[in-house]
Structure 1
């Protein structure tokens, strides 16, 4: 049996320290090696205990979580999960934490932590284990704000078979088809394809999916794109609904391209990235292929937004004229959608293990033999940036 993941819990509330410890110690894969009541204690405990993962409250006396995080990432880099309130200010601080190197931010909602089980509690356990098994993080330096320009829409109408209006039913049908396709059309195993021959295809849309570690990865890619980037971009990041407007706003301040939280009926414009709202699903309108639809989250789907749903929609609307990118994150969201994209002739890129915070979603796509190229995060940004340089 592998060694348990070592965790340090940092919170000024003894209730939350004990609650998180009880929750994590109930999992045999995890060992709590210490606690701290403020940021200064956290810095010392990280040096002393050498944990694999730290859970960190944002608001604490003596030294807050953000300042402690910055010091830890400079002195003793470790995976840090921040706990933040579900308020606009909490969301803004969460973005600062992600830019300072936090692996992820989890809402600190007392109601979700009081019960015996909840999605947030399960998410924390699985994230701790996944982060603990991954390589130690590298510090991340956010990009400074850049000049922003607008680029005109390059629009081409296309009539394709529409995606079902029910994303849950569409995904269930997709998985059934995928099982049959796997049996009938399984290709021989090949080595992971690398970037030597990778190039951005002539496409109608770029769709990027990500989860844990995704905000930093998206920032690194999108801040490199020129204002004249010739395609619209759909962004599907697993993130609470309170956080997505602030994340989109922050990216928009940093990027040459425009970035916004997607709204139902948005017209897709070249040089603009549309972030799926938390708790909703983002698809291309099956009746108007240049417009987006924001749909209610479906309880049958684990992820809201779901990369699978957005990938499936792009496959239906644009077929082989899609570039799909799957980035860091836990689980396998995106694999079923990537399978449908490949059947439609689209191009799929997957982030490599070395540059991923958690090598779950990209690994799943790669192991299903669906990735055309396996790329370092820097390579993805470089290749995309060249498309807007004329």
Structure 2
């Protein structure tokens, strides 16, 4: 059965262009279009698409509000089309908060280009998103009215504005913030207790033994939600430096780092060339660039221009490989949800050095591609549910 797609965009040019690209793929069937959010909500009800491509700025009702209503009334996978601007990045992250699965940049030059690069990217994203309906009902759609897994919590990116933790005096423990899913709304005193999601692992929390001087996390589709869930559970005095590689354009990584920094007790920021790694600091690789450890000074990162020969900029493989050379067996690498196999070659280098590799499990992944590649290659020391990772790392930090 082909993937049924509804196209939502106020631009006639983009509606036709998206339809042409999608219709050229036998795996996909375009079943309708809408020019604003109100039409989109109604057509989702009528046509029941597998995937919706959604513009952000539209008359009458914008894409973010449309996503919120769709996810509440008729949960459906939504792929946002977003401009490559600072404001575009902000509203795209708002859309992920509202329930969208992923996004694709809306660069006019790329959409006018006649080569197959954009077509392949768009069609592959749509097909991959549609394939994970079963796991998404237990994660992305969990807890939404009318969903089959209404007993769970959502795994969408839900920013919680949070005061930065104040470091305590040396020798004193720093209390870790509650996970984002259990934070009470500001201005209220009522405790909020989120139920465990349907895919939560019903076993005592593991505490794997890891020799670690550096933690490196790679992710793609579904990564913003996964990173938010993990990093908000780390205490301000987390004892390891963290490198983050998330597939995103440059404008998006700067905004994403700022959001994470507002949410987390640890410090999170976009990496700059020459930054020093240190405990309790997470450096996010800038989009369009590669982040490596300095070969001469392993305590500093280098931010280099993206190599056109590499598909991913930033690339998990590149940062993993650099970490293997600089820190060897003292690296803890996490590979999280995402399309493709980026990270697998780097994980091989890490394992040859004796490093530890953890992979996110299928049940909690939005897209299982990247973790699956590492697991199938026999490189994963642990296969963990997303709900487990933050608490395990928090316990490690408490040692």
Counterpart position of 2:370: 361
Give the counterpart of 2:82 among 81, 84, 103. 84
Native 8 Å contact 2:207 2:395 kept in 1: no
Q: Once the 2 structures are TM-superposed, how far is the Cα of residue 221 of structure 1 from its aligned partner? A: 1.0
Partner of 2:65: 67
- Per the normalisation by structure 2, the TM-score is 0.84
Match of 2:24 in 1: 26
Query: Is residue 2:239 matched to residue 1:223?
Result: no
C-alpha change, 1:282 and 1:151, in structure 2 (3 Å) is farther
The match for 1:350 is: 359
Q: Is 1:389 matched with 2:387?
A: no
Q: Distance in 1 between matches of 2:70 and 2:209?
A: 38
In 2, the alpha carbon distance for the partners of 1:371 and 1:362 equals 9
Greater mean deviation of Cα atoms: 344-353 or 130-139: 130-139
Q: What residue is the counterpart of 2:380 in the other structure?
A: 371
Alignment match, 2:102: 104
Q: Please say if residues 150 and 271 of structure 1, whose CA atoms lie closer than 8 Å, have aligned partners that are also in contact.
A: no
- Aligned in 2, Cα 1:285/1:315: closer, same or farther, shift over 3 Å? same
1:1-390 superposed matches below 5 A: 3-117=1-115, 119-135=117-133, 136=136, 137-138=140-141, 139=154, 140=156, 142-149=158-165, 197-199=206-208, 201-389=210-398
If the length of structure 1 is used for normalisation, what is the TM-score? 0.86
Task: Give the deviation of 1:107 after TM superposition.
Answer: 1.2
- Contact 1:227/1:388 (CA < 8 Å) preserved in 2? no
Higher RCO structure, 1 or 2 (CA under 8 Å, sep 6+): 1
Instruction: Quote the Cα distance in structure 2 between the aligned partners of 1:84 and 1:201.
Output: 40
Separation in structure 2 between the aligned mates of residue 132 and residue 223 of structure 1, nearest angstrom: 29
Cα-Cα RMSD? 1.8
Deviation of 1:130 after TM superposition, in Å, equals: 0.6
Q: C-alpha displacement at 1:197, in angstroms?
A: 5.0
- Structure 1 stretches of 4+ with a deviation exceeding 3 A read 118-121, 149-152, 194-198
Report if aligned partners of 1:143, 1:220 keep a CA contact under 8 Å in 2: no
Deviation, 1:118, is 5.2
Per-residue CA shift, 1:238-293, capped at 9, x if unaligned? 10111111110111111111000000000001111100000100011111111111
Partner-residue secondary structure (3-state), 1:208: strand
Contact preservation (8 Å) 2:207, 2:396:
no
Post-superposition Cα deviations, 1:342-375, rounded to whole Å, max 9, x if no partner, equal 1111111111111111110001111111111111
Gap runs ≥5 in structure 1: 155-193
Q: How many residues align?
A: 348
Q: Secondary structure at the match of 1:243?
A: helix
Counterparts of 2:119 and 2:27 in 1: how far apart (Å)? 15
Find the residue that maps to 2:303 and give its secondary structure.
strand
C-alpha displacement of 1:388:
2.9
CA distance in 1, matches of 2:160, 2:209: 26
Work out whether residues 206 and 392 of structure 2, in 8 Å CA contact, stay in contact via their aligned partners in 1.
no
Counterpart contact for 1:320–1:345, Cα < 8 Å? yes
Are 1:7 and 1:55, in contact at CA under 8 Å, matched by a contact in 2?
A: yes
Q: Please state whether the residue corresponding to 1:350 is helix, strand or coil.
A: strand
Distance change >3 Å, CA 246–CA 318, structure 1 → 2: same
| Structure 1 residue 77, shift from structure 2 partner | 1.7
SS in structure 2 of the partner of residue 387 of structure 1: helix
